[in-house]
Amino acid sequence: MEATRRGFLRVTTGAISGLSLAGPTTRALGGVQQRIRQRKDVSQLNSSSPDIVALTTAVGKMKAGLGDGDRRNWEAQAQIHGTFTGGFTHCQHGNWYFLPWHRGYLYFFEEIVRQLSGDEDFALPYWDWSKDFKLPATFWGNGNPLNDPARPGQPDSGRAVNQNSEILPRDQARFVNKSVISTILNQPDFETFAGVQANPGVMAGAGELEQTPHNFIHRWVGGDMVTGESPFDPIFWLHHCSVDRLWTEWVRKHPTSMPENDPAWTGTVFNDFCDRAGNPTTISVQQTLKTTDLGYQYALPASPVNSRPATAPARALEKSQGLRSVSPGQPGVGPEFRNGVAVYNYTPPGNQFEQFNQIIDNGIEVRKKIVRMRLQGIKIPSNQNVALQVHINCLLEKPDLPITDPSYVRSSTFFYPHIAKGQAGNAGHDTISFVMNVKPALGRLYGDRPLTSGEPLKVVVIAEPLFPNTDRASWRGEVQEVSPERVYFETVEAR
């Protein structure tokens, strides 16, 4: 991992807003005054739209018209992220750098497209898979640089879906539809939303945005998109543009909840990219926090929210209040296996019952407090076409529990290809952890009565094939193979 940690990068604004409605120009990265481009929904574009024409032109040149030594060529750009057979290289997953690293990646790719297409107005479109459940039509067609056909001698290359493929209603409801996205965006804690605090390259824990819609889309498209070299499929860029757009939406909902005063995050610098001329370049987390500084904003923004102050109030990075890793001196609980599911029973001490009941009650004073569950040490399977469905305090322990049950927390899946091909990974990991907010489920279950002393928190983890009854190779293992080693509970107060 080439990302390095440096001193805190001082800035004068401290403002973080991805959907700023500022004027037509801004002082963007590098201090250059430029207009703000609009990143548009690809469903509103066609093959003649300027952004699609520019993208098609540039990708065609990157695939065929640049020399092997040009860092802007298609293979070199994809290998910044990873390789087809060897997994990840420089990309950040499973930690709180997931969003800023990929934003920097998109920014420099967008600059390369402008240079190679000659269109300085180009802005990368996004694919809103929360409402459009097929790949965009402009990404298909023989001879189309935006297509990704299978390559001779590489049977797993290309795409696993075809032009008529559509995300099934069941998977829409579990992973990507508007209801799923709304629940994720209402999550007030940044780390639970975006990824757990860690050093670069350490997969300490994937947040809800990564483990659910992001990972699922990679798995659904399949082929190149489930490898480390997933950017070899041009749809990668529109997929991550949509993930980036959701970050800006989250900031609008929670304008003071970023860890912007923590230099361990904002001061981290990534040197994995090249600029529009193909020269090595760097970008810090701090430089990614305001999209207008990168020359773009998203079209059709959500309703405005109160703007954040010009500078955030100074405060040291705080540990979450209350429980950390269950409680001081308390270990997480391991699984029992019953009826084909993994069951974790934990009975909090008395003071923790009181904390949980206060949070579940959802009074004004605890609106930014959540009960966070950490599924620790999930072994990443070689076949990652598997979904983990999580429930808390369900009445029944069985594999066919529906997501309409009030105990349902969320569904998660995997995109960690350094394990898929038997590699050790860039940090030697063979496990991943997921964090998720269980407050909504507890609120549904205990909205009219409190948890009682001695009442356990029972977590049920169900593992099932992600694409059953299809010709796609899907997981056929047992829940023991993918169950978390431990389950921890924490109370977290968002900034």
Where are the chain's structural domains?
4-298, 336-493
Token digits for 73? 């060529």
Query: What's the pLDDT score for residue 29?
Result: 67
Closest by CA position to 458, among listed 343, 375, 353: 343
- pLDDT of 330 reads 54
What's the confidence (pLDDT) of residue 392? 96
Cα distance between residue 105 and residue 91, in whole Å:
9
Q: What does the block give as tokens for 316?
A: 């040291």
Write down the pTM of the prediction.
0.89
Instruction: Count the Cβ atoms, other than its own, within 10 Å of residue 11.
Output: 16
Backbone phi, psi, residue 48, to 5°: -95, -5
Q: Give the model's pLDDT for residue 366.
A: 74
Identify which of 351, 255, 246 has the alpha carbon closest to the alpha carbon of residue 302.
246
- Please give the pLDDT value at position 493: 86
Strand residues in 40-135 grouped as ranges (E): 82-83, 87-88
Confidence at residue 3, expressed as pLDDT on a 0 to 100 scale: 38
pLDDT in tens, the chain (495 residues): 333 332 322 222 333 333 333 334 454 566 556 689 999 999 999 999 999 999 999 999 999 979 889 999 999 999 999 999 888 999 999 999 999 999 999 999 999 999 999 999 999 999 999 999 999 999 999 999 999 999 999 888 999 999 999 999 999 999 999 999 999 999 999 999 999 999 999 999 999 999 999 999 999 999 999 999 999 999 999 999 999 999 999 999 999 999 998 999 999 999 999 999 999 999 999 999 999 999 999 986 543 333 332 223 332 333 333 222 223 335 689 999 999 999 999 888 777 778 888 888 776 667 788 999 999 999 999 899 999 999 999 999 999 999 999 999 999 999 998 654 444 444 446 899 999 999 999 999 987 788 887 778 999 999 999 999 888 888 999 999 999 999 988 888 887
Q: How far apart are CA 339 and CA 461, in angstroms?
A: 11
Tell me which CATH homologous superfamily contains domain 4-298.
Di-copper center containing domain from catechol oxidase (1.10.1280.10)
Q: Where are the beta strands (DSSP E) in 86-136?
A: 87-88
